[in-house]
Amino acid sequence: GVFGHRLYVWNLSCRTLAQCFDLGEDSLPLSVRFLHNPDAAEGFVSCALSGITYRFYKCDVSCWAVEEAIRIPAKDVTGWIMPKMPAFTVDLVISTDDKYLYLSNWWHGDIRQYELSKNCKPRLVGQVFVGGSILRGGPVTVCRDEELKCQPEPLVVKCKRVYGGPSKMQLSLDGKRLYVTNSFYSTWDKQFYPNLVKEGSVLLQIDVDTEKGGLTVNKNFLVDFGKEPNGPCLAHDIHFASGDSTS
């Protein structure tokens, strides 16, 4: 209940609040994206802490509705600030053809690719770990996990160990290159990933299978912000000069 947990619908022509949806006190809505199809009056909002992504859509001329679309389960852990580690979805990106939805899970450390369908809930078709708090050999031990059989391995790209977790994302217009940074907010970076603050953040490229779904870390691409002249720096947001999936 410390953070905001409501989704608001505004009538911009009248500058009035039309509707309000309470997504629950354990939710922290961070990212809202509409589908790119101009005829599709719908979109998704990802909520950190609860691990739930909601679909919102227009029912009629003046009424909107919200339904649960994705739920990422929490993990039972030891060696962390709480006995359960919830999903902390920082960013949500939708491909320009509205075929795939991507979520970055900053605490668990994974990027998720979901296939979108008109008649079915989003289906998980790709997943890759690029850091996180549950890596093997770290201070956190996972006692119970509904999804994974073992803790993921640390990521090393071009001889650099990647700390932190996936934060802001950006997808190329052709949907084949997903870029991600690993700094969320400097105060939280210091608390959860002190090595990230010490070493600096990175920019990674994730190669996307746009036919069948699937994600792979490109081991030949790395932008190291720890080597900036006034660094180490904590990079956050990403945009293409020539246009991207959120333009």
Mean pLDDT of 160-168: 96
Evaluate if residue 119 carries a pLDDT over 80: no
> pLDDT tens-digit profile of 105-114?
999 999 999 9
Greater model confidence, 3 or 56: 56
* Token output for 201: 């953040």
Report the phi/psi class of residue 116: left, alpha or beta, with left for phi > 0 and alpha for psi in -120 to 50. Answer: beta
Contact 102, 176 (CB under 8 A): no
Percentage with pLDDT > 70 across the chain: 100
CA–CA gap between residue 65 and residue 67 (Å, rounded): 7
Contact 55, 32 (CB under 8 A): no
Q: pTM for the full model?
A: 0.95
> pLDDT tens-digit profile of 124-142?
999 999 999 999 999 999 9
Peptide bond into 73 cis (omega under 30): no
* Residues 6 or more apart in contact with residue 238 via CB below 8 angstroms: 168, 169, 170, 179, 180, 181, 203, 244
Mean pLDDT of 19-43: 93
